[in-house]
Structure 1
Amino acid sequence: MGASEIPDTMKAIQVVEFNKPYKINTVKVPKDLQPTDILVKVAVASNCHTDSMVTAGTFGTKLPCTASHEGAGTIVALGKDAEARGFKVGQRVMCGLPLHPCGECGDCRGPENQTQYCSNLDGHCGVHVDGCFAEYVSVDSHSTTPLPDEVSFTSAAPLACAGRTIWRGLLQTGLKAGEWVAIVGSGGGLGHLGIQFAKALGLKVIGVDARDEGLSLSKEQGADVIVDARKGKESVVKEVHAVTNDKGADSTVCISDHEDAAAIACAVTKMHGIMVQIAQPKDVVIPFEELIFRDIRIHGSLLCSADESKSMLECIAKNGITVKTNPFNGLDKIEELTGMVHGGKIQGKAIIIVDPEQIDHEKKIGVNS
């Protein structure tokens, strides 16, 4: 697609008022690119739990704002700095979230695995600035990742946030092959990916969930042990200790925002172990005994850095990791999508096929995963 073929306007799903349904509006295509920017023709965009936080006004988003921070598609235009970084028109990419980091703060200067924490940026796509529930999106080349031929758009879109988040969370545990990791909230969009990632890293996995659908998906994705959190903390800890030589998991990743989730995550972790907190409830509640008497160390974790994103996609390509998706065809299906998500019965990720022609094209070139 040449520059002259890019339209002036497009359809976009937007948050126009907090705590109200999305609206589909006609808006301008974001052609005014900064040097590091990439204009992506969106193939697939995905729904994430954070989207509900955006619509609730949690992040103080300036409205109207195009929703979704998870997207993948094809580059149709780019700034000169993005081109110098190796990006090119026609390239398939997983969209980045952070937009325009300052490049000067301590986080931007590194180490590389914390550059995504720059607090002097313009915001995150789909959270503070326009996102991927649209026909086109402008993203930053610093955080955007080229797709291997083995990874499809339908897999890549949910990976843009969910995949990047759980992959980094697992890296933060510092575990080695053969060790036990517990994933609290294992049967959701992040969790089912986390199980597959952990197995690819050689870890033994304890999946903890509180829904029948979540427990079923955890087992389906290969968790070595499944534990029902509805039995209560004491029972959960007992079951975890039974398979870990009475020590507890070597490390735990918490991706459930239930009020008891962080406490359970700490309780199933061995003494002096790391609990990685990814979920974002209003308050993370942990009994002092876990911190003081058991020396559980709490690590917060955000998105992958650029290099971590690349390593995630390499892992997916090498190990054939798949994303369980619930596809909806077209931006006008947003009400159906949100109805499924809020119904609580969803397994995996809800996605919108924005541009079916791109899906057809990648099938012709042999991309199927």
Structure 2
Amino acid sequence: MAGLENIPDQMLACQVVEFKKPYKIHHVPTPKDLQPHDLLIKTAVASLCHTDNMVREGIFQPKLPSTASHEGAGTVAAMGSAVTDFHIGDRVMAGLYLHACGVCGDCKADLPQYCQTSEGAIGVNTQGCFADYVRIDARTAAKLPDAVTFGTAAPLACAGCTIFRAIKQAGVKEGEWLGLVGAGGGLGHLGIQFAKALGVRVVGVDARDEGLELARKTGADVVVDARKGKEAVVAAAQEATGGEGVHATVNISEASSAAATSCAITRRHGLMIQIAQPDQVSVPFFELVFRNIKIHSSLVSSPTEAREMLQVVAEHGVRVTKNPVNGLLEIPNLLELAASGKMSGKGIVIVDPAQIELEKQIGATV
């Protein structure tokens, strides 16, 4: 293993120590038990995701204490004996999944996110990125293009990877229409930009003033307020698309009516991709049977898709609308903003300002 001799024994981390209780921000041992394919990343930026709240509430139940956040980016500080594609000092976006088996059908198909024997996702099933250092798997990590900043890369590790894969799965061609329900959120505003980069036209639906404004700002061709009701949303989508409806829709919203709305704005024989995670996904039979709407689900990108996504970000200047706080000790303030419903885009934590300053020297501006 290379690099461990320079790593401190203790680090600051923000952890779930008891479900349904506030985080504890304290010093813990630095993870130095690297397996052959591991990277130890010195965290530059970590990001807040809805799933973090699901862990804190005990919907996901890792062994406690568990360091939060599965969205992170930083610099390789040490690496395991089998790592060949990375070097100490490389700037990387953390891959979510740790120690997939490599031999099951999903792993062989470059879908380690579905491997049933992996250790799961960092920050969800294992220790995460709200810490000075995080242990990740080199096989799911991605080097950052020089243009892409840590502040952009961290939210992309889950939010970006999730919406990018969903849009790929939707299969909408250049010039066709994609619906995004929940278009003005952390995933949605990225989805608009990815779709536009691919030459796709977008109907964005949201139910918050902040979300509607962000959807407009990031380039949705049509923006519809879901608070006007399903019939008005469908009418707006059909007006934009010559009465047909969009070719496919991605549902990002957990609202109880969101899946039904997503299907309703989709044209007959079209496809709805469900990535939101409510307790139940409810769609009237009329949409499925009489309009032949197909429903697929999608998780996060494969490692190959994640690397492709970063190239799209670099080439097209995809921007993450960010709400930054400085340092792990400021996480409670970020949580307060998120709980207010007033957050526009993604909440991020600048863990190591020194790395932010260094990346400016290579021209990282996206």
Question: After the TM superposition, which residues 137-216 of structure 1 pair with which residues of structure 2 at under 5 Å, given as runs?
Answer: 137-216=134-213
Tell me how far apart the structure 2 counterparts of residues 306 and 18 of structure 1 sit (CA, whole Å): 31
1:1-369 correspondence runs (5 A): 2-82=3-83, 84=84, 86-110=85-109, 112=110, 114-369=111-366
Q: Which runs of 4+ in 1 moved over 6 A?
A: none
Please report how far the alpha carbon of residue 115 of structure 1 lies from its aligned counterpart in structure 2 after TM superposition. 3.4
Question: What is the Cα deviation at residue 2 of structure 1?
Answer: 4.5
Is 2:155–2:348's contact at 8 Å kept on the other side of the alignment? yes
Matched residue SS, 1:53: helix
* CA-CA distance at 1:130 after TM superposition: 0.4
- Deviation per CA, 1:127-149: give whole Å up to 9, x if none: 01100000000000111100000
For residue 275 of structure 1, report the CA deviation from its aligned partner.
0.2
Q: Cα distance, 1:60 vs. partner?
A: 2.1
> Partner amino acid for 1:77?
A
CA distance in 1, matches of 2:365, 2:221: 27
Of 290-299 and 129-138, deviating more is: 290-299
SS in 1 for 2:82: helix
Query: Which structure 1 segments of 5+ residues have no match?
Result: none
Shift of 1:169: 0.4
Q: What code does the residue aligned with 2:287 have?
A: E
RMSD of equivalent CA atoms: 1.0
CA distance in 2, matches of 1:4, 1:60: 33
Q: Deviations over 1:109-141 (max 9, x none)?
A: 11x3x3321111011100011000000000001
SS of corresponding position for 1:245 = coil
Instruction: Encode CA deviations 1:301-320: one digit per residue, 9 max, x unaligned.
Output: 00100110111011011101
1:2-44 Cα shifts (integer Å, max 9, x gaps): 4322100101000111111111121111111001100000000
Say which SS state the counterpart of residue 262 (structure 1) adopts: helix
Between the aligned partners of 2:56 and 2:286, the Cα distance in structure 1 is 36
Letter of the 2:282 counterpart: V
Instruction: Give the total of aligned pairs.
Output: 365
Query: Distance in 2 between the 1:238 and 1:3 partners?
Result: 60
Quick check: 50-59 or 178-187, which moved more?
50-59
Counterpart-to-counterpart distance in 2, 1:81 and 1:170: 34
| TM-score normalised by structure 1 residue count | 0.97
For structure 2, the residue ranges without an aligned partner over 5 or more in a row are none
Deviates more, 1:55-64 or 1:253-262: 55-64
Q: Distance in 2 between matches of 1:33 and 1:49?
A: 28
Q: Distance in 1 between matches of 2:343 and 2:204?
A: 17
Offset from partner CA, 1:251-277 (integer Å, 9 cap, x none): 000000011100100000011111000
